[in-house]
Amino acid sequence: MKGKSNGGDTIKKGFTLVELMVSVFIFLIIMVAIVQIFAQQISAYRYARVSQSDLENAQFAMNYISKTLRTATVLGEDGSDLRDPTQFNEDDFILQEIETTHKLVLYDFSQELCMRFSFHLGEQSHPYPGDSALWVESTEGIQFDEIEKCLLDTTYSSNAITKYQRLTSGDVMGTFWVAPTRYDDSTGERKTKTIGRVTMSMTVRPAKTDALYEDKKDHPIYIQTSTSLRDYPPDLSF
Amino acid sequence: MRNKKGFSIGEVMVAMFILLVGIVDAVFLTVRSIDNMKGSRDAVIATLLAQEGVELVRNVRDNNVTQETCGTGTERCTAFDPESDYNWPSYNVSTFTSCTIDYATSGASSRLVCSGVSPDDKLYLNTETGMYSHSGGGTLYEDSHLRRRIYIQYSKTNVDPPNDVLAKVTSVVIFGGQNNFPSADNVERDCKISQNCVFAQTRLTSWINYGD
Residue B83: CB atoms within 10 Å: 17
Instruction: Kindly determine whether residue A197 and residue B30, on different chains, have CB atoms separated by under 8 Å.
Output: no
Write the ipTM: 0.86
Does the pLDDT of residue B212 top 50, yes or no? no
Amino acid at A236: L
Q: How far is Cα A77 from Cα B126, in angstroms, rounded to an integer? A: 23
What count of CB pairs under 8 Å joins A to B?
A: 124
- Please tell me if residue A11 touches chain B, with a CB cutoff of 8 Å: yes
User: Which of A47-51, B59-63, B146-150, B163-167 has the weakest average pLDDT?
Assistant: B163-167
- A122 confidence band (pLDDT: 50, 70, 90): confident
Does the pLDDT of residue B160 top 80, yes or no? no
The percentage of residues in chain A with a pLDDT greater than 70, rounded to a whole number, is: 91
* Chain segment B189-203, per-residue pLDDT in tens: 999 999 999 999 999
* Chain segment B88-132, per-residue pLDDT in tens: 887 776 678 888 898 886 545 567 888 765 557 899 999 888 999
Mean pLDDT (chain A, rounded): 87
A chain contacts of residue B66, beta-carbon cutoff 8 Å: 192-195, 236
Residues B145-154 have a mean pLDDT of: 92
- Please tell me if residue A132 touches chain B, with a CB cutoff of 8 Å: no
- Please tell me if residue A179 touches chain B, with a CB cutoff of 8 Å: yes
> A193 near B66, Cβ under 8 Å?
yes
Instruction: Kindly determine whether residue B62 and residue A228, on different chains, have CB atoms separated by under 8 Å.
Output: yes
Q: How far is Cα A69 from Cα B112, in angstroms, rounded to an integer? A: 23
Residue B159's alpha-carbon distances to B92, B94, B106, B156, B165, in angstroms, are: 11, 12, 35, 6, 7
User: Which of A31-40, A91-100, A141-150 has the weakest average pLDDT?
Assistant: A91-100
**0.90 exceeded by the pTM?**
no
Identity of the residue in B26, B40, B59 whose CB atom sits nearest the CB atom of A195: B59
Nearest CA in chain B to A51: B41
Q: What are phi and psi of A4, to 5 degrees?
A: -65, 140
Sequence-distant (≥ 6) Cβ neighbours of residue B131 within 8 angstroms: A175, A177, A199, A201, A224, B103, B125
Which is more confidently placed, B71 or B131?
Answer: B131
Predicted pLDDT of residue A74: 95
- Please tell me if residue A199 touches chain B, with a CB cutoff of 8 Å: yes
Instruction: Kindly determine whether residue B45 and residue A37, on different chains, have CB atoms separated by under 8 Å.
Output: no
Does the pLDDT of residue A45 top 70, yes or no? yes
* Chain segment B16-26, per-residue pLDDT in tens: 899 889 888 88
A chain contacts of residue B112, beta-carbon cutoff 8 Å: none
Nearest CA in chain A to B37: A48
Nearest CA in chain B to A195: B63
Q: How far is Cα B49 from Cα B145, in angstroms, rounded to an integer? A: 13
